[in-house]
Structure 1
Amino acid sequence: MQDFDDADLALIHALQIAPRASWALLGAVLGVDPVTVARRWQRLSAAGDAWITGYGSAALMRRTSMALVAVSCLPGRLPEITARILDDPHAVTVEHTTGNCDLLVTVWTTGLADLSDYLVGRLSRLPGVTATRTTMVTEVYAEGSSWRVGVLDAAARDRLRRAALSRATGTGELRTADRPLALALGRDGRLPYPELAAAAGITAATARRRVARMLDDGVLTIRCELARYASHRPVSVTLWANVPPGELAATAAAIASRPEVRLCAAVAGTQNLIVTAWLSALADLQRLEISLAARFPGLSIAERAIVLRHQKLMGRVLDEAGRAVRSVDMDIWRPPSARRPAGALP
């Protein structure tokens, strides 16, 4: 594993704010020659230490079906089960965890029927899976695209925000014709417009207009990610909590603003709130829980899981250090196994 220096983290922070900003702008903000910035990014991305991916926004998540599925496995079968689902387009994130399950899988489909098909026709049928428990996401208050490494000063952040492509809040409806663009951006969120055009069978000018429209309509998120070891927050934890229904929205919004929080979502299940945080050390988990209890007296934590390894993170298969190895299209529109057309790939 390479050591990240301050310049690496500054570039990643800049790309978290404006992931498709020009090298000229990034160089101007960071005080570095644009060619040097481009070479630095090429080094980071080639090593899998950082990457940029595009996917449906929180608005699209509300219109589709996303669930956190806790999977229990027979002893010794975990590696095989994990390997079997890594290339599933609907299993967008796969984590090996402590707690009441062996795997925590984020499953994303177009609707409840497709979710059922994936769970019953694919996941539950894998040899060695003994049980699954599904928690539906009903509202997303924060997800990984809003998390920051936090090294740039306010002036640099403001300059990048002004130059970033618009990210309005829209209906979350992604046009069928735009799906090839969304999938191509999932593989590389900085893919040049001519290459995006080739992937979608359109002109570069049309690709530019459509990407801008998807961002303006609030249906597309483009996110810069880095290997967790380089984030100075190597511990990932997920908490399941209960909050009085009348306090849920305000509580979730407040928790979502915390700098360590990667995911904050209202859910329908035994609990009604899920929080994922990246921490500097395991001891920070107790401090986090104490802080939440003091700030939100009505919140009670029912379950906690520590991620032993991220096997896949929003379409990226990762190695043991958390570096990106390859991408898997988050093609949530593809029919799950139970209703897959005859002759389709397994």
Structure 2
Amino acid sequence: MPARMTSESATFDRLDRQILHGLQLAPRVPFARLGAVLGVSEQTAARRYQRMRTLGIARVFGAVDHARLPGAATWMVRLTCRPGTAMPTAEALARRPDTSWVMVGAGGAELTTSIAAVAGQQGLLHHLPRAANVLSVSAHQILHRFAGRGEADWIAGDDRLDDNQRRELITPTEEVTINTDMSQEDQPLINALAHDGRASFAALADATGWTQRRAASRLNALTAAGFLRFDVDTSATALGFHAVAHLWFTVAPADLASVGARLADHQQLAWAAAVTGSANIVAVALSTDAAALYDYLTTEVAAIPEVRNCETVPVLTRVKQAVSLVDNGILRGPLA
């Protein structure tokens, strides 16, 4: 488990934000290259990242992109639980590999999670309504993501890498069509990358029992085929965002794309997507405090006349990020 942070150890500066932005753009980029782009040494870039990872502030991970799997879909699910059962339910959901972003809303009764489901299979979406501690279930399929493949935009703020730095960091690669499928044999590789998305080929070989050449070849093939993605998990609390809320927007279907495009430019949103249901856009807003959230709602959101309604659901506790379990606001990695 990561070390507990102190006010001294948790300092987070411009270079840290730029390192995280660089890793969001190129999660497995060598630290020598990242350091060169940022004007620091390889050792400094590596040391800064390892410090943030140890403290549970941020960590690179690899994960299956369920949207690319045949018949798969991702759902945002809102649960209302019996009094006193929301946290135990959230913790149980967080330990499942098919969930992410498990959060308990203010009041301790509502729980929101993201679930990966496959058509024709009786998975979690089928069983949740039958759970004794669940009073109601509202499931919303994610149709289109407007913002939030990575979280660096709100992490980095005004310290984001400029266009020249992005070009130096990201090497254009020739698009190739990879004919491959995922199999059960890939699971040890996926598990290892969930724990450390920057794991070396030697470490991946140890985790899988493969040769380094085979581990590298399989990682590259799954990534090129779109089955495997890399990103950065971050602790919003550790970065100073103490007012987190789900925003459920209702707009006319004709305005869905334009409103989504405007929301994608809002730095306060870590994630936004079009979903099924009467509230057809959901977003996650991060603010330093309640006053900042109020300012955002009454200025930038209020400036979008096509928004007919906005339900604001404050998050009391975040139990899981994309793959990382969260303990008192600190990332402690995925399940063993």
From 137, 141, 150, the equivalent of 1:145 is 150
- How much has 1:46 moved relative to structure 2? 1.8
- Using structure 1 for the length normalisation, give the TM-score: 0.81
Matched, 1:119 2:125: yes
Distance across 1 between alignment mates of 2:100 and 2:286: 19
Secondary structure in 2 aligned to 1:156? Answer: helix
The AA in structure 2 aligned to 1:279 is S
- How much has 1:63 moved relative to structure 2? 5.3
Distance across 1 between alignment mates of 2:24 and 2:210: 28
Q: Deviations over 1:290-339 (max 9, x none)?
A: 4455543222224221111111111211111x21123038xxxxxxxxxx
Q: Call closer, same or farther: CA 1:305–1:171 in 2, change over 3 Å.
A: farther
Q: Call closer, same or farther: CA 1:293–1:8 in 2, change over 3 Å.
A: closer
1:63–1:173 CA contact under 8 A, matched in 2: no
Distance across 1 between alignment mates of 2:246 and 2:178: 29
Q: Number of matched residues?
A: 323
From 325, 332, 339, the equivalent of 2:332 is 325
Matched, 1:311 2:316: no
The alignment's C-alpha RMSD in Å is 3.0
The AA in structure 2 aligned to 1:307 is V
Q: Deviations over 1:277-298 (max 9, x none)?
A: 2223222333333445554322
Q: Call closer, same or farther: CA 1:171–1:22 in 2, change over 3 Å.
A: closer
Distance across 1 between alignment mates of 2:332 and 2:297: 34
- Using structure 2 for the length normalisation, give the TM-score: 0.83
Q: Call closer, same or farther: CA 1:59–1:126 in 2, change over 3 Å.
A: closer
Distance across 1 between alignment mates of 2:239 and 2:182: 35
Identity fraction in percent: 26
Secondary structure in 2 aligned to 1:145? Answer: coil
Q: Call closer, same or farther: CA 1:217–1:251 in 2, change over 3 Å.
A: farther
The AA in structure 1 aligned to 2:150 is S
**Partner residue in 1 for 2:140:** 135
1:81–1:127 CA contact under 8 A, matched in 2: no
What runs of 5+ residues in structure 2 fail to find an aligned partner? none
2:75–2:116 CA contact under 8 A, matched in 1: yes
**Partner residue in 2 for 1:338:** none
Q: Call closer, same or farther: CA 1:28–1:274 in 2, change over 3 Å.
A: same
Matched, 1:159 2:168: yes
From 286, 291, 301, the equivalent of 1:283 is 291
The AA in structure 1 aligned to 2:169 is L
**Partner residue in 1 for 2:250:** 242
From 293, 296, 304, the equivalent of 1:296 is 304
The AA in structure 1 aligned to 2:125 is L
1:168–1:215 CA contact under 8 A, matched in 2: no
- How much has 1:9 moved relative to structure 2? 2.5
From 216, 225, 250, the equivalent of 1:217 is 225
Question: Which 10-residue stretch deviates more, 247-256 or 57-66?
Answer: 57-66
Matched, 1:104 2:104: no
Distance across 1 between alignment mates of 2:300 and 2:108: 22
**Partner residue in 2 for 1:188:** 196
- How much has 1:142 moved relative to structure 2? 2.1
- How much has 1:38 moved relative to structure 2? 2.1
The AA in structure 1 aligned to 2:250 is N
Secondary structure in 2 aligned to 1:316? Answer: coil
From 258, 264, 269, the equivalent of 2:277 is 269
**Partner residue in 2 for 1:39:** 47
Question: Which 10-residue stretch deviates more, 133-142 or 280-289?
Answer: 280-289
Trace 1:32-71 onto structure 2 (pairs within 5 A).
32-57=40-65, 59-60=67-68, 64-71=72-79
- How much has 1:179 moved relative to structure 2? 4.8
Question: Which 10-residue stretch deviates more, 189-198 or 93-102?
Answer: 93-102
Q: Call closer, same or farther: CA 1:141–1:167 in 2, change over 3 Å.
A: farther
- How much has 1:19 moved relative to structure 2? 1.3
Distance across 2 between alignment mates of 1:142 and 1:47: 27
The AA in structure 1 aligned to 2:230 is I
The AA in structure 2 aligned to 1:159 is E
Q: Call closer, same or farther: CA 1:242–1:7 in 2, change over 3 Å.
A: same
**Partner residue in 2 for 1:335:** none
Secondary structure in 1 aligned to 2:202? Answer: helix
**Partner residue in 2 for 1:342:** none
Distance across 2 between alignment mates of 1:286 and 1:107: 29
What runs of 5+ residues in structure 1 fail to find an aligned partner? 330-346
**Partner residue in 2 for 1:12:** 20
Distance across 2 between alignment mates of 1:107 and 1:172: 27
Secondary structure in 2 aligned to 1:20? Answer: coil
Q: Call closer, same or farther: CA 1:3–1:99 in 2, change over 3 Å.
A: same
1:97–1:308 CA contact under 8 A, matched in 2: yes
